[in-house]
Structure 1
Amino acid sequence: MTTTRTAFGDLPTSVHTAIEEHTGPLLKTETIAAGFNSEISARVHSTAGTCFIKGLRTDHPRAWTQRREAEVNPYLRGIAPALLWHLEAEGWHLLAFEALDGHHADYSPGSPDLPKVVATLGRLGETPCPQIELRHAEQWLLGYVTNPAQAQLFAGPALLHTDLNNENVLVDDERALLVDWAWATRGAAWLDAGYWAIWLMAAGGHTPESAEQWAARIPAWLTCPREGIDAFAHANANMWEEIAGPDPDPWTKRMLDAARSWSAYRSAL
């Protein structure tokens, strides 16, 4: 579900005042078009420097995702941009992150970004999962498996991102960082490598086999049983079938085709 955007300048004056208590006087704002989960998304320049601000109305159905991001961020040093501050004012909940100079990850075959993503997902796999409220992978995917018992293959103690859209991965000369932790989840450590494989195929140029070869560079992937990969591939195909519906837009159709392709590949092994 895409969220309608609100221009930063259209926020109530009282919200701008609350922001300036953290930033000092605002000098310039730049609207960010990428991303689906925020009503406000802007790069904000002020006398104190530059930050990235995202937000939702406090009565938005997904307002809880803002609080989830604020809760999980302290545990993501070196994996995600640091949260600088957050506030609630005049019916808005806003998060301010350090601004990054970089580009959205290029997932095409041969891209120099791919090893950086591997390194970051490897670090994430070594990060202890915080004791905060999170989705559980086995519960989230239960409705998409062939046999309910298969969902337990996705259970585990690891912290997962689960939404590895290339626009949620920012890359600079040295590293890749993961943004938009709205769907942070607790589950088996290898699942993010599996999610990434689908995004690689959807980007174009990657076969299921080559996508799995990239996934296999992430240490956690080597811990998953074959039956777990099979069940996960089939569950994602079912999930994207549901999301796509009878008349998907081109973006969703690309994801559906990738998930179907992977599921068929796993079935043929």
Structure 2
Amino acid sequence: MTSLTKSRIRWADLPAPVRAAVEEILGDRVVAAESQHGGFSPGTADRVRTAGGGRAFVKAVSPAQNDRSPALHRAEARVAATPAAPAPRLLGCHDDGDWIALVFTDVEGRHPATPWEAGELAAVLSTLEAMAAVLTPAPAAVATTATEHLGHDFGGWRRIAADPPADLDGWARARLTELCAAADRGLAALTGDTLCHVDIRADNLLVGPDGAVSVVDWPWACRGPAWLDSLLALVNVQVHGGHDPEALLAALPLAAGVDPADLTGVLAGFTGFFLDGARQPPPPGIPTVRAFQRLQGDALLPWLARRMG
């Protein structure tokens, strides 16, 4: 998986009072912990086992690893109170103002294969469609809209236009004005009252032994259109390969009736966000995220060019 976090701390690195707080939530002593790969948080991501044989998933972080990560964990704790999502159940949360630890049920499963395999992709898209239905309307606890959440991100093309990098793709360089306008249209299209995950990627999905799909890592959740998460799944298909995302989009039930220019605009917004983000210094404790943003931006450009002509 391209998005491996190479600097992640582990269960044993947590301060003793934090480990004790987690064990209190579990009601038992942790005797084994296995760090999980994927994602970009520099905090822990451990499957733990207790003395009595119980299992759970623990993620914990403090500002010492990354100053933004604790706020994301707190946001995820609020979203995790929504029981309808196909996500691991939050067993408890420890927050001492410095360290925050989330304790979830341990979901047996693995990330979907990439390049994407047809059966797993179908299961994921079916899950996202069902999830959108269940999570509309969004719970009152989530007030942030996708337009608010992605407002700065979708300004990526304007920042690129103000200071174009030397290696900017020629097609994009010749169409910066159009790309800025398309991203603006995409941002305006992000209205809706569905609870959206907004970070759908293979490494935020788990496929269980029975084929059931669980969606993990919800810190970016917000209110938006029912089709947004499904579109982001197709973005990940474009990044990793295996299928034609344009054909998949044409057959996507949730996108039926959506103005194609709105969908193109959202793709433009994410492409600009990835390419602009990729040229920024890496955030503390997350050295690999810029390379992954560049990978995504470069992968999306051909699809965007195909749609814009």
The normalised TM-score by structure 2 is: 0.77
Structure 2 Cα separation of the partners of residues 4 and 133 of structure 1: 31
Matches within 5 A, 1:1-269: 4-23=7-26, 24-46=28-50, 47=52, 49-57=54-62, 60-77=67-84, 79-89=86-96, 91-126=98-133, 127-128=135-136, 129-139=138-148, 140-141=150-151, 142-144=154-156, 146-147=180-181, 148=184, 150-172=186-208, 173-206=210-243, 210-245=244-279, 251-268=292-309
Structure 1: which 5+ residue stretches go unaligned? none
Structure 1 Cα separation of the partners of residues 89 and 126 of structure 2: 18
Post-superposition, which runs of at least 4 consecutive aligned residues in structure 1 deviate over 4 A?
A: 1-4, 246-250
The normalised TM-score by structure 1 is: 0.88
User: Shift of residue 250 of structure 1?
Assistant: 5.0
Give yes or no for contact 1:14–1:89 (8 Å, CA) kept in 2. no
Please give the per-residue CA displacement for 1:82-140, whole angstroms capped at 9, x wherever unaligned.
11111124831111111111110124354321111012101221112111245422231
Structure 1 Cα separation of the partners of residues 76 and 242 of structure 2: 32
Give yes or no for contact 2:186–2:268 (8 Å, CA) kept in 1. no
Report the secondary structure of 2:45's partner residue: strand
1:223–1:62 Cα change, 3 Å: farther
Tell which deviates more after alignment, 60-69 or 174-183.
Answer: 60-69
Structure 2 Cα separation of the partners of residues 12 and 228 of structure 1: 48
Tell which deviates more after alignment, 67-76 or 23-32.
Answer: 67-76
1:99–1:89 Cα change, 3 Å: same
1:170–1:219 Cα change, 3 Å: same
Q: Which amino acid aligns with 1:41?
A: A
Structure 2 Cα separation of the partners of residues 152 and 251 of structure 1: 26
What is the alpha-carbon root mean square deviation over aligned residues?
Answer: 2.6
Q: Which amino acid aligns with 1:252?
A: Q
Give yes or no for contact 1:58–1:93 (8 Å, CA) kept in 2. no
Please give the per-residue CA displacement for 1:216-268, whole angstroms capped at 9, x wherever unaligned.
55432224211201211211221111022289965333211221122111112
Structure 1 Cα separation of the partners of residues 116 and 57 of structure 2: 30
Q: How many residues align?
A: 265
Query: Structure 1 vs Structure 2: percent identity of aligned residues?
Result: 26
1:239–1:250 Cα change, 3 Å: closer
Structure 1 Cα separation of the partners of residues 155 and 6 of structure 2: 25
**Greater RCO (CA < 8 Å, at least 6 residues apart):** 2
User: Shift of residue 150 of structure 1?
Assistant: 4.8
Q: Which amino acid aligns with 2:25?
A: H
Give yes or no for contact 2:205–2:214 (8 Å, CA) kept in 1. yes
Give yes or no for contact 1:106–1:114 (8 Å, CA) kept in 2. no
Structure 1 Cα separation of the partners of residues 84 and 304 of structure 2: 34
Q: Which amino acid aligns with 2:41?
A: N
1:136–1:143 Cα change, 3 Å: farther
1:229–1:90 Cα change, 3 Å: closer
Report the secondary structure of 1:112's partner residue: helix
Report the secondary structure of 2:84's partner residue: coil
When you count strand as a share of all residues, which structure comes out higher?
1
